[in-house]
Amino acid sequence: MTLEQKAADMAGIEIRDLHLSFGDTKVLTGINLSIRPGEFFAFLGPSGSGKSTLLRAIAGFGPQPKGEILIGGREVATLPPWKRDVGMVFQSYALWPHMSVRENVAFGLQERKVPAKEIRSRVDEALALVGLSHLADRMPNQLSGGQQQRIALARTVVIQPKVLLLDEPLSNLDASLRVQMRRELLALQRKLGLTTIFVTHDQEEANTTADRMAVLDGGVIQQIGSPQELYDRPVNLFVARFLGTANILEGQVEIGSDGALFRTATGDVLHLPAEGTAGPSNIVLRPQNIRIEQVSAPDTLQGEILHREFLGSQVRYLVRAAGTEIVVDQSHRAGEVWLDPGTGVHLAANTRDAVLIPRGA
Protein backbone atom coordinates (compact mmCIF):
# COMPACT_ATOMS: atom_id res chain seq x y z
CA MET A 1 0.00 0.00 0.00
CA THR A 2 1.40 3.36 -0.87
CA LEU A 3 0.13 6.87 -0.69
CA GLU A 4 1.23 7.74 -4.18
CA GLN A 5 -1.60 7.95 -6.62
CA LYS A 6 -1.75 6.15 -9.90
CA ALA A 7 -2.58 8.41 -12.80
CA ALA A 8 -5.86 6.58 -13.23
CA ASP A 9 -6.94 7.47 -9.65
CA MET A 10 -6.33 11.15 -10.11
CA ALA A 11 -9.50 13.10 -10.19
CA GLY A 12 -10.23 16.38 -11.82
CA ILE A 13 -12.67 18.91 -10.44
CA GLU A 14 -15.40 20.48 -12.49
CA ILE A 15 -17.49 23.32 -11.14
CA ARG A 16 -20.44 24.53 -13.19
CA ASP A 17 -22.42 27.69 -12.60
CA LEU A 18 -22.08 27.63 -8.85
CA HIS A 19 -23.96 30.19 -6.76
CA LEU A 20 -23.91 30.47 -3.01
CA SER A 21 -25.37 32.90 -0.50
CA PHE A 22 -25.40 33.36 3.27
CA GLY A 23 -28.99 34.35 3.78
CA ASP A 24 -29.51 37.34 1.49
CA THR A 25 -25.83 38.01 0.94
CA LYS A 26 -24.45 36.56 -2.27
CA VAL A 27 -21.04 35.14 -1.59
CA LEU A 28 -20.26 33.26 -4.81
CA THR A 29 -21.71 34.07 -8.20
CA GLY A 30 -21.53 32.06 -11.42
CA ILE A 31 -18.41 30.08 -10.64
CA ASN A 32 -17.20 27.93 -13.55
CA LEU A 33 -13.95 26.14 -13.10
CA SER A 34 -12.14 23.11 -14.40
CA ILE A 35 -9.18 21.72 -12.51
CA ARG A 36 -7.17 19.00 -14.21
CA PRO A 37 -6.24 15.74 -12.51
CA GLY A 38 -2.96 16.06 -10.62
CA GLU A 39 -2.90 19.81 -10.91
CA PHE A 40 -1.73 22.15 -8.14
CA PHE A 41 -4.33 24.87 -8.30
CA ALA A 42 -4.58 28.04 -6.20
CA PHE A 43 -7.52 30.24 -5.24
CA LEU A 44 -6.09 33.70 -4.80
CA GLY A 45 -7.96 36.71 -3.56
CA PRO A 46 -8.23 39.29 -0.81
CA SER A 47 -10.12 38.45 2.35
CA GLY A 48 -13.84 38.37 1.74
CA SER A 49 -13.37 37.44 -1.90
CA GLY A 50 -15.12 34.10 -1.40
CA LYS A 51 -12.08 31.91 -1.98
CA SER A 52 -12.39 30.03 1.32
CA THR A 53 -16.12 29.72 0.87
CA LEU A 54 -15.57 28.13 -2.53
CA LEU A 55 -13.06 25.71 -1.07
CA ARG A 56 -15.42 24.84 1.77
CA ALA A 57 -18.24 24.34 -0.71
CA ILE A 58 -16.11 21.76 -2.50
CA ALA A 59 -15.48 20.00 0.84
CA GLY A 60 -19.17 20.18 1.67
CA PHE A 61 -19.11 22.79 4.43
CA GLY A 62 -21.24 25.88 4.68
CA PRO A 63 -24.61 26.56 3.09
CA GLN A 64 -25.84 24.38 0.26
CA PRO A 65 -24.77 25.99 -3.05
CA LYS A 66 -26.70 25.98 -6.33
CA GLY A 67 -24.91 24.45 -9.29
CA GLU A 68 -22.76 21.44 -9.90
CA ILE A 69 -19.54 20.22 -8.34
CA LEU A 70 -18.00 17.16 -9.96
CA ILE A 71 -15.02 15.37 -8.51
CA GLY A 72 -13.59 12.73 -10.82
CA GLY A 73 -16.80 12.94 -12.80
CA ARG A 74 -19.00 12.29 -9.75
CA GLU A 75 -21.56 14.88 -8.73
CA VAL A 76 -20.91 15.72 -5.04
CA ALA A 77 -22.73 18.99 -4.47
CA THR A 78 -25.53 17.30 -2.55
CA LEU A 79 -23.37 14.82 -0.64
CA PRO A 80 -22.48 15.39 3.03
CA PRO A 81 -18.80 16.13 3.74
CA TRP A 82 -18.04 12.61 4.94
CA LYS A 83 -19.02 11.07 1.64
CA ARG A 84 -17.05 13.31 -0.69
CA ASP A 85 -13.65 11.73 -0.38
CA VAL A 86 -11.82 15.02 -0.33
CA GLY A 87 -9.08 15.78 2.15
CA MET A 88 -8.97 19.18 3.74
CA VAL A 89 -6.25 20.83 5.82
CA PHE A 90 -7.59 23.63 7.95
CA GLN A 91 -6.06 26.99 8.55
CA SER A 92 -5.96 26.28 12.29
CA TYR A 93 -4.83 22.67 11.58
CA ALA A 94 -7.70 21.49 13.79
CA LEU A 95 -5.66 18.78 15.44
CA TRP A 96 -7.78 17.22 18.16
CA PRO A 97 -6.12 18.08 21.45
CA HIS A 98 -7.43 15.01 23.25
CA MET A 99 -5.79 12.57 20.85
CA SER A 100 -2.12 11.79 20.34
CA VAL A 101 -0.48 12.42 17.00
CA ARG A 102 -0.92 8.79 16.05
CA GLU A 103 -4.60 8.80 17.03
CA ASN A 104 -5.17 11.96 15.06
CA VAL A 105 -3.64 10.48 11.94
CA ALA A 106 -5.38 7.15 12.39
CA PHE A 107 -8.81 8.74 12.79
CA GLY A 108 -9.86 8.84 9.14
CA LEU A 109 -8.75 5.26 8.59
CA GLN A 110 -10.71 4.09 11.61
CA GLU A 111 -13.78 5.82 10.25
CA ARG A 112 -13.23 3.88 7.04
CA LYS A 113 -13.08 0.62 9.02
CA VAL A 114 -9.58 -0.17 7.82
CA PRO A 115 -8.13 -3.20 9.69
CA ALA A 116 -6.01 -2.21 12.69
CA LYS A 117 -2.81 -3.67 11.28
CA GLU A 118 -3.11 -1.78 8.07
CA ILE A 119 -3.94 1.42 9.95
CA ARG A 120 -0.69 1.10 11.82
CA SER A 121 1.42 0.73 8.73
CA ARG A 122 -0.33 3.48 6.83
CA VAL A 123 -0.07 5.90 9.75
CA ASP A 124 3.64 5.11 9.98
CA GLU A 125 3.99 5.72 6.28
CA ALA A 126 2.16 9.04 6.46
CA LEU A 127 4.22 10.21 9.44
CA ALA A 128 7.41 9.20 7.62
CA LEU A 129 6.23 11.13 4.61
CA VAL A 130 6.10 14.34 6.63
CA GLY A 131 9.26 13.38 8.54
CA LEU A 132 7.70 13.23 11.98
CA SER A 133 7.72 9.51 12.80
CA HIS A 134 9.46 10.24 16.10
CA LEU A 135 6.56 12.38 17.36
CA ALA A 136 3.85 9.73 16.96
CA ASP A 137 3.09 9.52 20.67
CA ARG A 138 3.14 13.21 21.46
CA MET A 139 0.02 15.25 22.12
CA PRO A 140 -0.69 18.06 19.66
CA ASN A 141 -0.09 20.82 22.21
CA GLN A 142 3.50 19.57 22.57
CA LEU A 143 4.24 20.32 18.91
CA SER A 144 5.47 23.47 17.20
CA GLY A 145 3.36 25.21 14.59
CA GLY A 146 5.28 23.69 11.70
CA GLN A 147 5.01 20.22 13.19
CA GLN A 148 1.29 20.63 13.72
CA GLN A 149 0.96 21.70 10.11
CA ARG A 150 2.72 18.55 8.93
CA ILE A 151 0.64 16.32 11.17
CA ALA A 152 -2.51 17.94 9.83
CA LEU A 153 -1.24 17.17 6.33
CA ALA A 154 -0.37 13.60 7.23
CA ARG A 155 -3.80 13.14 8.79
CA THR A 156 -5.40 14.23 5.55
CA VAL A 157 -3.28 12.42 2.97
CA VAL A 158 -3.33 9.15 4.89
CA ILE A 159 -6.90 8.52 3.76
CA GLN A 160 -5.82 8.86 0.11
CA PRO A 161 -8.42 11.45 -0.78
CA LYS A 162 -9.26 12.13 -4.41
CA VAL A 163 -8.38 15.78 -3.97
CA LEU A 164 -6.50 17.72 -1.34
CA LEU A 165 -7.85 21.07 -0.16
CA LEU A 166 -5.55 23.43 1.71
CA ASP A 167 -7.16 26.41 3.43
CA GLU A 168 -4.51 29.08 3.96
CA PRO A 169 -2.22 26.37 5.30
CA LEU A 170 0.79 28.62 5.80
CA SER A 171 -0.83 31.67 7.34
CA ASN A 172 -0.17 30.64 10.93
CA LEU A 173 3.56 30.06 10.37
CA ASP A 174 6.35 32.61 10.63
CA ALA A 175 7.90 33.96 7.45
CA SER A 176 11.00 31.76 7.18
CA LEU A 177 9.05 28.60 7.92
CA ARG A 178 6.44 29.59 5.39
CA VAL A 179 8.92 29.49 2.50
CA GLN A 180 10.25 26.13 3.59
CA MET A 181 6.82 24.66 4.10
CA ARG A 182 5.50 25.74 0.74
CA ARG A 183 8.41 23.97 -0.95
CA GLU A 184 7.71 20.87 1.09
CA LEU A 185 4.05 21.07 0.22
CA LEU A 186 4.80 21.29 -3.44
CA ALA A 187 7.30 18.42 -3.27
CA LEU A 188 4.74 16.32 -1.45
CA GLN A 189 2.04 17.16 -3.93
CA ARG A 190 4.27 16.22 -6.83
CA LYS A 191 5.25 12.99 -5.11
CA LEU A 192 1.69 11.96 -4.35
CA GLY A 193 0.28 13.31 -7.58
CA LEU A 194 -2.77 14.58 -5.71
CA THR A 195 -5.08 17.08 -7.32
CA THR A 196 -4.66 19.98 -4.92
CA ILE A 197 -6.40 23.28 -4.29
CA PHE A 198 -4.58 25.84 -2.24
CA VAL A 199 -6.34 28.90 -0.87
CA THR A 200 -4.22 31.94 -0.16
CA HIS A 201 -4.29 35.71 -0.12
CA ASP A 202 -0.56 35.83 -0.74
CA GLN A 203 0.31 36.10 -4.43
CA GLU A 204 3.89 35.00 -3.82
CA GLU A 205 2.67 31.75 -2.32
CA ALA A 206 0.35 31.19 -5.26
CA ASN A 207 2.95 32.13 -7.85
CA THR A 208 5.61 29.87 -6.40
CA THR A 209 3.48 26.78 -6.03
CA ALA A 210 0.51 26.73 -8.34
CA ASP A 211 0.35 25.28 -11.81
CA ARG A 212 -2.65 27.45 -12.43
CA MET A 213 -4.76 29.68 -10.32
CA ALA A 214 -8.04 31.47 -10.12
CA VAL A 215 -8.17 35.05 -8.88
CA LEU A 216 -11.37 35.81 -7.01
CA ASP A 217 -12.92 39.05 -6.01
CA GLY A 218 -16.42 39.79 -4.77
CA GLY A 219 -17.44 36.18 -5.17
CA VAL A 220 -16.62 36.15 -8.83
CA ILE A 221 -13.69 34.50 -10.62
CA GLN A 222 -11.77 37.32 -12.29
CA GLN A 223 -9.31 35.27 -14.27
CA ILE A 224 -7.95 31.77 -14.51
CA GLY A 225 -4.51 30.88 -15.80
CA SER A 226 -0.90 30.14 -15.02
CA PRO A 227 0.89 32.62 -12.74
CA GLN A 228 2.76 34.01 -15.72
CA GLU A 229 -0.32 34.51 -17.84
CA LEU A 230 -2.06 36.30 -15.03
CA TYR A 231 0.90 38.55 -14.34
CA ASP A 232 1.65 39.35 -17.92
CA ARG A 233 -1.82 39.51 -19.36
CA PRO A 234 -4.30 40.53 -16.64
CA VAL A 235 -7.77 40.86 -18.09
CA ASN A 236 -8.86 43.59 -15.72
CA LEU A 237 -7.53 46.21 -13.40
CA PHE A 238 -8.25 44.11 -10.32
CA VAL A 239 -6.05 41.27 -11.50
CA ALA A 240 -3.43 43.71 -12.67
CA ARG A 241 -3.32 45.42 -9.28
CA PHE A 242 -3.62 42.26 -7.24
CA LEU A 243 -0.71 40.44 -8.90
CA GLY A 244 2.41 42.52 -8.43
CA THR A 245 2.64 46.28 -8.47
CA ALA A 246 0.91 48.00 -11.33
CA ASN A 247 1.01 51.61 -12.50
CA ILE A 248 -2.24 52.36 -14.19
CA LEU A 249 -2.73 55.37 -16.39
CA GLU A 250 -6.10 56.41 -17.66
CA GLY A 251 -6.41 57.61 -21.22
CA GLN A 252 -7.39 56.76 -24.73
CA VAL A 253 -6.05 54.60 -27.53
CA GLU A 254 -5.86 56.51 -30.78
CA ILE A 255 -4.87 55.27 -34.17
CA GLY A 256 -2.62 57.87 -35.60
CA SER A 257 -0.59 58.08 -38.81
CA ASP A 258 2.41 56.44 -37.24
CA GLY A 259 0.42 53.61 -35.68
CA ALA A 260 -1.43 53.27 -32.38
CA LEU A 261 -0.73 55.56 -29.50
CA PHE A 262 -1.95 55.98 -25.95
CA ARG A 263 -2.83 59.49 -24.87
CA THR A 264 -3.08 59.96 -21.15
CA ALA A 265 -5.68 62.14 -19.49
CA THR A 266 -2.98 64.78 -18.98
CA GLY A 267 -2.14 64.76 -22.66
CA ASP A 268 1.12 62.80 -22.55
CA VAL A 269 1.54 60.41 -25.43
CA LEU A 270 2.99 56.91 -25.44
CA HIS A 271 3.42 55.06 -28.74
CA LEU A 272 2.18 51.51 -28.79
CA PRO A 273 4.05 48.75 -30.60
CA ALA A 274 1.02 46.88 -31.82
CA GLU A 275 -2.31 47.77 -33.29
CA GLY A 276 -4.81 48.73 -30.70
CA THR A 277 -8.50 49.29 -30.66
CA ALA A 278 -9.34 52.94 -30.47
CA GLY A 279 -11.31 54.04 -27.45
CA PRO A 280 -11.06 54.86 -23.77
CA SER A 281 -8.61 52.57 -22.09
CA ASN A 282 -6.16 52.07 -19.23
CA ILE A 283 -2.56 51.17 -19.67
CA VAL A 284 -0.78 48.99 -17.11
CA LEU A 285 2.92 49.58 -16.67
CA ARG A 286 4.99 47.39 -14.32
CA PRO A 287 7.62 49.30 -12.28
CA GLN A 288 10.50 47.37 -13.78
CA ASN A 289 9.38 48.30 -17.30
CA ILE A 290 9.92 52.01 -16.75
CA ARG A 291 13.31 53.70 -17.01
CA ILE A 292 14.27 57.01 -15.47
CA GLU A 293 15.98 59.39 -17.92
CA GLN A 294 17.58 62.68 -17.01
CA VAL A 295 16.79 64.29 -20.37
CA SER A 296 13.56 64.69 -22.21
CA ALA A 297 12.84 62.42 -25.18
CA PRO A 298 9.76 61.41 -27.17
CA ASP A 299 7.45 58.97 -25.47
CA THR A 300 8.59 60.03 -22.04
CA LEU A 301 6.55 61.41 -19.20
CA GLN A 302 7.88 64.37 -17.28
CA GLY A 303 7.83 64.10 -13.52
CA GLU A 304 9.41 64.73 -10.15
CA ILE A 305 10.75 62.26 -7.63
CA LEU A 306 8.67 62.21 -4.46
CA HIS A 307 10.21 59.43 -2.47
CA ARG A 308 12.92 56.78 -2.59
CA GLU A 309 13.25 53.33 -1.05
CA PHE A 310 16.29 51.08 -1.18
CA LEU A 311 15.27 47.44 -1.52
CA GLY A 312 18.69 45.85 -2.00
CA SER A 313 18.64 44.57 -5.55
CA GLN A 314 16.54 47.52 -6.59
CA VAL A 315 15.88 51.14 -5.81
CA ARG A 316 12.21 52.04 -5.85
CA TYR A 317 11.24 55.59 -6.72
CA LEU A 318 7.86 57.18 -6.39
CA VAL A 319 7.48 59.69 -9.17
CA ARG A 320 4.74 62.24 -9.73
CA ALA A 321 3.95 62.20 -13.44
CA ALA A 322 0.99 62.19 -15.82
CA GLY A 323 -1.25 63.43 -13.05
CA THR A 324 -0.64 60.43 -10.83
CA GLU A 325 2.06 58.74 -8.75
CA ILE A 326 4.10 56.15 -10.58
CA VAL A 327 6.30 53.47 -9.01
CA VAL A 328 9.55 52.85 -10.82
CA ASP A 329 12.10 50.14 -10.00
CA GLN A 330 15.69 50.63 -11.10
CA SER A 331 18.08 47.76 -10.59
CA HIS A 332 20.86 48.73 -8.28
CA ARG A 333 24.53 48.65 -9.13
CA ALA A 334 27.29 49.16 -6.62
CA GLY A 335 28.33 52.75 -6.11
CA GLU A 336 25.47 54.17 -8.09
CA VAL A 337 24.38 57.66 -7.19
CA TRP A 338 20.72 57.81 -6.27
CA LEU A 339 18.35 60.56 -7.22
CA ASP A 340 16.98 62.65 -4.39
CA PRO A 341 13.34 63.60 -3.92
CA GLY A 342 12.59 66.84 -5.70
CA THR A 343 14.70 65.98 -8.74
CA GLY A 344 12.97 66.47 -12.06
CA VAL A 345 13.04 63.33 -14.24
CA HIS A 346 11.62 61.86 -17.44
CA LEU A 347 10.07 58.39 -17.46
CA ALA A 348 10.51 56.16 -20.48
CA ALA A 349 7.97 53.36 -20.58
CA ASN A 350 8.55 50.11 -22.39
CA THR A 351 5.15 49.85 -24.00
CA ARG A 352 5.90 46.43 -25.48
CA ASP A 353 5.46 44.90 -22.02
CA ALA A 354 2.51 47.10 -21.16
CA VAL A 355 -1.04 45.82 -21.12
CA LEU A 356 -4.01 47.74 -22.41
CA ILE A 357 -7.21 47.19 -20.58
CA PRO A 358 -10.32 48.74 -22.10
CA ARG A 359 -12.06 51.14 -19.72
CA GLY A 360 -14.64 49.39 -17.61
CA ALA A 361 -12.88 46.02 -17.43
Partner 1 sequence: MTKGPHPASFADRLPAFLFPRLSPIAMVGLFIALILFGFLIFPVLQVITVAFQDPASGALTLNNFGDFFGSALFRQSFFNSFYVSAISVVVATVIALPLAYITTRFNFSGSILIQSLGFIPLIMPPFVGAVAMQLIFGRNGTINLLLREHFGFTLPFMEGLNGVILVQSIHYFPFILINLSASLRNIDRSMEEAAQNLGAHGLRLFRRIVFPLATPGYIAGAALVFIKVFDDLGTPLLLNVNNMLAPQAFLRITSVGLNDPMGYVISVILVAFSILSLWASFLVMRGKDYATVQKGGGGLAKRDLALREKILAYGVVIFILLIVLSPHIGLLLLSFGTIWSFAPLPDAYTFDNYIRMWEGSQQYVMNTLLYAGLAATLDVILGTAIAYIVLRTGIAGRKWLDYMATAALAVPGVVLGIGYLRTFQDVDVPFVGKPLASWWVIIAIALMIRRLPYALRACMAALQQVSLALEEAAESLGASKFRTIRRVVVPLMTGGILAGFVTSFATAAVELSATIMLVSAERDSPLAYGIYLFMQTPSGRGAGAALGVLAVVIVALGTVLSQIIIERDKKLRTAGRD
Which residues are at the interface with partner 1 (CB under 8 A)?
59-61, 80-82, 86-88, 90-92, 94, 96-99, 107-108, 111-112, 152, 155-156, 159
Give the distance, in angstroms, between the CA of residue 3 and the centroid of all CA atoms in the same chain: 26
Output the smallest distance, CB 351 to partner 1, in A. Answer: 43
- Minimum gap (Å) between residue 85 Cβ and partner 1: 9
> Distance (Å, rounded) from C-alpha 262 to C-alpha 268?
8
Complex with partner 1: residue 80 or 267, whichever CB lies closer? 80
Rank residues 97 and 267 by Cβ distance to partner 1 and give the closer one: 97
Task: Work out how close the CB of 107 gets to partner 1 at its nearest, in angstroms, rounded to a whole number.
Answer: 6
Q: Which is nearer to partner 1, 90 or 208 (CB)?
A: 90
Please give the Cα distance from 29 to 50 (Å, whole number). Answer: 9
Q: How far is CA 18 from CA 57, 64, 65, 117, 314, in A?
A: 10, 10, 7, 42, 44
CA atoms within 13 Å, Cβ hemisphere of 202: 15
C-alpha triplet 151, 153, 7: angle, nearest 5° = 140
Q: What is the CA radius of gyration of the chain?
A: 25
Q: Do residues 193 and 170 touch, judged by C-beta distance below 8 A?
A: no
Q: Which is nearer to partner 1, 96 or 338 (CB)?
A: 96
Find the shortest distance in angstroms from Cβ 340 to partner 1: 40
Nearest approach in angstroms of CB 109 to partner 1 is 9
Beta bridge partner(s), residue 16:
68
CB of 183 to partner 1, least distance (A): 24
Choice between 22 and 310, CB closer to partner 1? 22
Q: Of 107 and 263, which CB lies nearer to partner 1 in the complex structure? A: 107
Residue 360, CB-side half-sphere exposure with 13 Å CA sphere: 3
